[in-house]
Amino acid sequence: MSGTELCLGDLGERGIQEKVLRPRYGSTEGFGDDSAFLAKVDRPSELVATTDSCPTPVVDLLREPDLYHAGWLLATINLSDLAAAGAEPLGLVVNYTLPKTTTVVAFERLLDGVDDCCRAHGTKVAGGDLRDGSPQLTATAIGRCAPGSRLRRSGAKAGDHLMLVGSPGYLWAAALLETGRATLPKPARDEIWDRARRPMAQLKAGRTLAEAGHVRTAMDVSDGLFATVRTLCEANGLGAVVTGEFALDEPVAAVAAQCGVRAFDLAETWGDWGLVVVAEDAGQVRKTLAEEDIPVQEIGSFTADTAITKGTAPWQGIAQERFSTSSWHGGELSTLVTEVLGV
């Protein structure tokens, strides 16, 4: 069911359930029950859970706002935390607070974004709640780990290697393109835009490395690379030396070159949902992920002291930290690009 003028307030809760949600989720086991059914556990597992809310997607400032982007990002944010645990997702439980004036079309776009992201990551929406009010999108993701394989933020030691899994820089490369600071041929521009609006959680990498025992410690890059490394250092009472070197994917590297932005400066931004893993044997991690065609690069190592440096100088990088002046709550794009990249 869809209509450009029909709003959620026109349907009411029962109408929304019967005309929008049941056609979409009615075949999901437990639909309509008070609790969601996730999975039959047929082997020993450790269950993990995470919950997070969705901020305004940056891509909604770059082009026409679309709740699809928010739905995709809501799922990615939560699934990325499962990746940092080395977990397999069992399902997502969602909670949407939306104004009564939200159109059915816009609501269906939100659902499409969440469902498409879940499908791309091999999981599904298992249940949730819907209410009227000021917009707030929240989800809880449930996952399972093989016994003893769960990754944590602690467990690192001096000399361990810091490795970044994934291909960063796409979101802010898109921002540089959309604000006219760089230009690329349409195929490359479209590739960057698609990656920016549909970031993927590194579930396969986290689970593969955890079950193989190649890493003990991991954290997803939700607030920027600096914030991630700093948090890992604090959790382990260690310092770190970061190389400040990074090789970007070709289209992102082209944008950085045009704008005079160093590759590492683009790699350390937030919004691409990479995964930092800590390994005693970096070669083993590279080999394992290469077999799965998953990109990974070494960015530095832990040290016994508590200083965090990039090369020989103290590192004070970008941190999208909540309850701070750098916390992302939306804003004017040109100002944001300048604050994040100094361009």
CATH architecture, domain defined by 161-341:
Alpha-Beta Complex (3.90)
Please check whether residue 214 is in contact with residue 288, taking contact to mean a CB–CB distance below 8 angstroms.
yes
Distance CA 307, CA 242 (A): 11
> Which residue from 230, 162, 245, 170 is spatially nearest to 200, judged by alpha carbons?
170
Q: Between 33 and 23, where is the model more confident? A: 23
3-state DSSP assignment of residue 310: strand
Evaluate if residue 203 carries a pLDDT over 80.
Answer: yes
For residue 22, the one-letter residue type is R
CA–CA distance, 114 with 102 (Å, rounded to integer): 17
Q: Given this model, what pLDDT does residue 329 score?
A: 59
Pick the CATH number of 8-145 from 3.30.420.40, 3.40.50.2020, 3.30.428.10, 3.30.1330.10: 3.30.1330.10
Give the DSSP H/E element, type plus range, for residue 174. Answer: helix 170-178
Average pLDDT over all residues of the chain: 92
24 in Cβ contact with 115 (< 8 Å): yes
| Contact residues for 240 (Cβ-Cβ < 8 A; gap 6+) | 162, 229, 232, 233, 300, 301, 302, 303, 308, 309
Q: What is the rounded average pLDDT of the residues 174-199? A: 96
- Give the end-to-end CA distance of the chain in Å, rounded to a whole number: 45
| Per-domain boundaries in the chain | 8-145, 161-341
> Counting runs of H as helices and runs of E as strands, what totals does the chain give?
13, 11
The pLDDT of residue 115: 98
Dist. CA 203–CA 206, nearest whole Å: 5
Those residues whose C-beta lies under 8 Å from the C-beta of residue 258, and which sit 6 or more positions away, are 176, 181, 182, 183
Q: Write down the pLDDT at residue 136.
A: 97
The confidence score (pLDDT) of residue 169 equals 96
Calculate the CA dihedral of residues 2, 139, 84, 311 and round it to 10 degrees: 90
DSSP three-state, residue 52: strand
Read off the DSSP letter of residue 311.
Answer: T
Helix (H) or strand (E) holding 141: strand 136-145
Q: How confident is the model at residue 80 (pLDDT cuts 50, 70, 90)?
A: very high
* pLDDT tens-digit readout, 93-123: 999 999 999 999 999 999 999 999 999 999 9
Q: Judge whether residue 286 has pLDDT over 90.
A: yes
> What's the pLDDT at 34?
65
- Angle at CA 79, nearest 5°, toward 241 and 330? 75
Helix (H, G, I), strand (E, B) or coil at 307: coil
pLDDT at 125 over 60: yes
